[in-house]
Amino acid sequence: MKRAEEQGAVLVTTLILLVVITLLAVSSARDSLMEVRVMARGLDYQRLFNAAEAALREAERLIAKAPAPLPTCGSAPCLQGLATHNAADFTRATPYQGSSDTATSARWYIRQIPSTAAQPEDARYGEAAKMTGTYFYEVSSQAFLTQQASSDLHRMCTGIALCLRSVVARTFIEGQQ
pLDDT in tens, the chain (177 residues): 566 556 677 888 889 999 999 999 999 999 999 998 888 888 888 999 999 999 999 999 999 998 888 888 877 788 888 888 888 888 888 889 887 777 888 999 999 988 655 444 554 444 444 556 788 899 999 998 877 766 677 667 877 888 999 999 888 876 555
Specify if 132 maps to a domain. Answer: yes
Amino acid at residue number 128 = A
Specify if 177 maps to a domain. Answer: no
Specify if 61 maps to a domain. Answer: yes
Backbone angles phi, psi at 37, to 5 degrees: -65, -45
Residue 15: how many other CB atoms lie within 10 Å? 10
Separation of CA 135 from chain center:
25
The range of the structural domain enclosing residue 124 comes to 2-172
Specify if 74 maps to a domain. Answer: yes
Paired with 105 in beta bridges are 144
Specify if 85 maps to a domain. Answer: yes
Nearest-5° Cα angle at 143, 142 to 145 = 150
Considering the entire predicted model, what is its pTM? 0.71
SS3 129: helix
**Count of the separate structural domains present in the chain:** 1
Separation of CA 172 from chain center:
30
